[in-house]
């Protein structure tokens, strides 16, 4: 991370925010793929370990970027907003699907689908808030 912080592009809040956006997208897709593959196996509770590991790794990445990135407070807000916007967009997509949830056929019960979307909305909203908070309000500010 120290070598990365010396790169010229890492000093820009927009470029570093885009990097964080892509890292968040990569971590999310990788976790979703692992959860899908684990669903094909019949190993109980392994999905909980994968979700816990993904959460801890995401927190670790956010803290590292926040610690090594230097800039003004306003630039730090830009970095946090751009980087965490992946989860913001995901929350909006889930909210749209939740609002437009319709039965697939007459008599179809959509309760479980609504419950899954509700929990997904909670998870992505908390991830957005956590990523934004960690990258925007922690770390060092080298310039006023």
Q: What is the pLDDT of residue 59?
A: 96
| Over residues 1-21, mean pLDDT | 88
Alpha-carbon span 48 to 54, nearest angstrom: 10
Alpha-carbon span 49 to 36, nearest angstrom: 14
Beta-carbon contacts of residue 61 (< 8 Å; ≥ 6 apart)? 20, 23, 27
| Over residues 101-126, mean pLDDT | 93
The tens digit of pLDDT for each residue in 43-58 reads 889 999 999 999 999 9
Q: What is the pLDDT of residue 112?
A: 93
The tens digit of pLDDT for each residue in 22-49 reads 999 999 999 999 999 999 988 889 999 9
Residue-wise burial string across 54-93, b where 16 or more C-beta atoms lie within 10 A, e elsewhere: bbeebeebbeebbebbebeeebbbbbbbbbbbbbbebbee
Alpha-carbon span 16 to 75, nearest angstrom: 10
Average pLDDT of the chain is 92
| pTM for the full predicted model | 0.88
The residue among 129 and 7 whose pLDDT is bigger is: 129
Alpha-carbon span 74 to 79, nearest angstrom: 9
The residue among 142 and 82 whose pLDDT is bigger is: 82
Q: Residue 143: which pLDDT band, with cuts at 50, 70 and 90?
A: low
Q: In which element (H, E) is residue 41 found?
A: none
């Amino acid at each position: 991370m120290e070598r990365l912080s010396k790169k010229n592009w890492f000093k820009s809040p927009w470029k570093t925010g885009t990097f964080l956006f892509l890292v968040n997208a990569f971590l999310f897709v990788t976790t979703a793929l692992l959860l899908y593959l684990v669903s094909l196996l019949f190993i109980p509770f392994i999905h909980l370990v994968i979700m816990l590991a993904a959460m801890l790794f995401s927190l670790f990445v956010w803290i590292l970027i926040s610690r090594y990135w230097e800039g003004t407070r306003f630039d730090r807000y830009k970095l946090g907003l751009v980087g965490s916007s992946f989860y913001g967009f995901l929350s909006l997509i889930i909210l749209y699907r939740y609002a437009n949830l319709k039965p697939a056929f007459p008599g179809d019960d959509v309760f479980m689908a609504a419950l899954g979307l509700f929990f997904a909305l909670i998870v992505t909203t908390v991830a957005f808030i956590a990523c934004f908070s960690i990258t925007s309000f922690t770390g060092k500010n080298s310039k006023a």
